[in-house]
Amino acid sequence: MRKPLVLATAALAAVGLATLVPASASAAASGDTQSTFSLAGGTGLSIAVPDGSSTPVDLGSATAGAASLSHALGNVTVTDTRGLLVAGWTVTASTTSFTTGGGSAGETVAKGNVSYAAGVGTAQLGQVGAFVPANLGLPVALGSAAAVGSWTGTGNNTVTWNPTITFNLLPSQVVGTYFGTITHSVS
């Protein structure tokens, strides 16, 4: 008769084990994992300007005796990939005098008679910051290098604008095609 006693003990042992194993996982545990990632700054600060190296950019025409001539230069784009918390830059423009023929007084528009108006800058969607044209967007004389616009914001940014170049012409300006160079820099 020992067999039934063994079966009863095995049945009680099985019931005892069932009470030791939880029926559900409601008592969850947690664990923390310290983690990091890094963002590296890009190539820095760059500026792209209209390419007049093979063919000069045509800034329009006026009739002899006109007081001024204004024309859009073409898109200027600054790209800042430094990824800074306080991202800021300033664009400076300068010019040479514009001359025709032998460059005599009547054949020269002095650089002090050339001005630059940045106008509205268009930033890429989602950027945090603002582009501010110098002089509230009014023309800035380029007799010497002058700040023409700036950006203040956060992180990477790209801004494009199409400046207007204005030549104040003298009554003594002679007919001809005038050549000069407009230079941009960003810092």
Using alpha carbons, list the distances in angstroms from residue 8 to 15, 16, 20, 54: 11, 12, 19, 102
Q: What is the pLDDT of residue 39?
A: 77
Pick out the chain residues at pLDDT < 50. Answer: 5, 7-12
Domain boundaries, the chain: 45-186
Q: What is the pLDDT of residue 27?
A: 73
Which tens digit of pLDDT belongs to each residue from 79-129? 999 999 999 999 999 999 999 999 999 999 999 999 999 999 999 999 999
Q: What is the pTM of this model?
A: 0.80
Q: What is the pLDDT of residue 182?
A: 97
Q: What is the pLDDT of residue 76?
A: 98
Q: What is the pLDDT of residue 136?
A: 87
Q: What is the pLDDT of residue 41?
A: 73
